[in-house]
Structure 1
Amino acid sequence: MRDLTTGVKYFLEGQRWVARHRRWWGFGLLPGLIALVLYIAALVALGFWADDLSSWATPFADDWDSTFRSLLRWTLTVIVFSGGLLLAMVTFTAVALLIGDPFYESLSERVEEMEGGAPPKPDIPLWREILTSVRDSLSVLARVVAFGLLLFACGFIPVVGQTVVPVVGICVSGFFLTTELTSVAMQRRSVPLRTRLRLLRGRLLLALGFGVPLVLLFLVPVIAVFAMPGAVAGAALLVRELVPVPDPDPSDDPDPVPDEEIDEDNDDATGTVPAS
């Protein structure tokens, strides 16, 4: 239970951090706002064309009675739009992270610097960073879809499908949301997705304590936009516990200056004149 409360603490700490640093909060809003505009445009287009799509998908119903044909196509229209809305909710964070990779990278690094130091950024080209982010996001999305199909099938089980399955679904979403949000700080540490998943599974309650409250907030994409900077900040704090930044080793300092030379330099600096 301690990990669960610690995860919630990082969720709250991230929101508090951006509340104290309003400039960085505004900076982190930009990718979410861009993603929100794109999603709204896509959903409006889907709503406009959903009826035509339903008609195109059910040519066999053209000869049906008008009442049954309308009922079938209206039901299919609702399913199509609901599916698009669900897909938007599931993928919003991944798309916002992809759009805002440079923004969130700067925000996450700033959080770490103010909390005791950030690890050096890997010396890899930007295009490779973006390619890695896209690949990891698609891999996480594939896992989400697989779990989603399984939970959808379990939803038809009486009682369990109406009680246990929704709770499990929120927990699964919370875990993978944490996986996505920690990707920024994890990639800065060169931690691959497979290792990231293993680390989060090993601290499952920590991941759920952080991700589940965000899932409940992110059910409304508009709220997700305003909570996103704090989520990235909180994820950076969480990663610092999972993969701490090593303290610099004084023995790694190249060409250490002997104490004698330091004393001589100090004498020169104070203007001491040798005795004649």
Structure 2
Amino acid sequence: MRDLVAGMRYLTRGQRWVAGHGRWWGFGMIPTLIALVLHVAALTALALFSGDLAAWATPFADGWGAPWQGLLRGLFVALLVAGGLMLSVLTFTAVTLLIGDPFYESLSERVEESEGRCPSAPDRSLWREIWIALCDSVQVLRRAAPFGIALFVLGFVPFIGQTVVPAVGFCVSGFFLAFELTSVAMQRRDIPVRERLRLLGGRKALAVGFGAPVALLFLIPFAAVFLMPGAVAGATLLVRDLVPDERAPGAADGPGAEVPVAVAGPVGAGAPPQAGASGAVGTGGGFGPPPAPFTPGPGA
């Protein structure tokens, strides 16, 4: 429960940061607007042709009488649209980050600088950065797809499909949204995809607490346009506490010195979280014993 609340707090802090830096807020809205137009067009097409898709997918119901044919195909349309919305929430962040990689990299760097330090980004070209972001997005979708398919099938189960499945769906969307949003700051630290998944997987409640509200808010028309810059800022603040920079005050000295990544074991283990220097929930050992040190690799 503490991690859930902490994740929500990072989202709130990010929104407060961009509200206090209006120029960066407007700067971060540009790629969001482009992605929004693309997704609205795709969802509109899905809604217009969902009836035809339902008839094509259920040919066995052609000879059914009323009301059973209408109920079956109506349920199929509802699940198809719900699945499209869930997929759009996941892909919206990926597409927005892909389009806005230079925008959000600059925004994330400014957030880190305002907090006192900013790790040096790897020396890569813009096209190389975009290619890495594209590969990361494919990795996320590849891992999220089995969950989406399973939830889609379970949606046909009476009662569970209308109560449990939507709740689980938002939690799954929230975790992968948190992964997408933290990728900007993680890439700057040259942390590969598998290590990012391990870091957030060790703190699932924190990731869900941050990402699930984003997934819910993104369902509000045009809300994503205004919230996306703050979500990137909040994810940057989360990464700063989850993966302390080795050049931070109090870090180990000497050549080859490493800073252990403050990642907890199972949710709820360890002592309560401690307050960090910036006022956020920190990770300075308050969540339990740290794992083995992590040294950034050659690239994602």
Q: Does 1:138 align with 2:138?
A: yes
Consecutive unaligned residues in structure 1, runs of 5 or more: 253-276
Query: In the superposition, relative to structure 1, how do residues 83 and 25 fare at CA in structure 2: closer, same or farther (>3 Å)?
Result: same
Q: Distance in 2 between matches of 1:147 and 1:118?
A: 35
Contact 2:179/2:196 (<8 A) preserved: yes
Partner of 2:41: 41
5 Å-filtered alignment, 1:48-197, equals 57=56, 75=74, 83-197=83-197
CA positional deviation for 1:42: 3.0
Consecutive unaligned residues in structure 2, runs of 5 or more: 256-300
5 Å-filtered alignment, 1:237-276, equals 237-247=237-247
Q: Does 1:209 align with 2:219?
A: no
CA positional deviation for 1:250: 8.1
Aligned residue pairs, count: 251
Partner of 1:257: none
Q: Distance in 2 between matches of 1:31 and 1:86?
A: 20
Give the number of the structure whose alpha-carbon radius of gyration is greater: 1
* Deviations, residues 108-139 of structure 1 (Å, cap 9, x unaligned): 01000100111001012222211111111111
Query: In the superposition, relative to structure 1, how do residues 28 and 135 fare at CA in structure 2: closer, same or farther (>3 Å)?
Result: same
Kindly provide the amino acid, as one letter, of the partner of residue 152 in structure 1.
F
Kindly provide the amino acid, as one letter, of the partner of residue 232 in structure 1.
V
Query: In the superposition, relative to structure 1, how do residues 150 and 190 fare at CA in structure 2: closer, same or farther (>3 Å)?
Result: same
CA positional deviation for 1:2: 2.7
Query: In the superposition, relative to structure 1, how do residues 52 and 134 fare at CA in structure 2: closer, same or farther (>3 Å)?
Result: same
The residue matched to 1:234 in structure 2 has which SS?
Answer: helix
Q: Distance in 2 between matches of 1:129 and 1:194?
A: 18
Q: Distance in 2 between matches of 1:74 and 1:151?
A: 18
Q: Distance in 2 between matches of 1:174 and 1:60?
A: 35
Query: In the superposition, relative to structure 1, how do residues 251 and 86 fare at CA in structure 2: closer, same or farther (>3 Å)?
Result: closer
Moved more, 219-228 or 185-194: 219-228
Partner of 2:285: none
The residue matched to 1:121 in structure 2 has which SS?
Answer: coil
Contact 2:83/2:148 (<8 A) preserved: no
Contact 1:8/1:210 (<8 A) preserved: yes
Query: In the superposition, relative to structure 1, how do residues 214 and 46 fare at CA in structure 2: closer, same or farther (>3 Å)?
Result: closer
Aligned Cα RMSD in Å? Answer: 3.2
Kindly provide the amino acid, as one letter, of the partner of residue 236 in structure 2.
A
Bigger share in helix: 1
The residue matched to 2:120 in structure 1 has which SS?
Answer: coil
The residue matched to 1:182 in structure 2 has which SS?
Answer: helix
Partner of 1:22: 22
Contact 2:79/2:152 (<8 A) preserved: no
Q: Distance in 2 between matches of 1:152 and 1:238?
A: 31
Contact 1:58/1:73 (<8 A) preserved: no
Query: In the superposition, relative to structure 1, how do residues 183 and 221 fare at CA in structure 2: closer, same or farther (>3 Å)?
Result: farther
| TM-score (normalizing by structure 2) | 0.72
| TM-score (normalizing by structure 1) | 0.78
Contact 1:182/1:235 (<8 A) preserved: yes
Higher relative contact order (CA 8 A, sep 6+): 1
Q: Distance in 1 between matches of 2:165 and 2:82?
A: 19
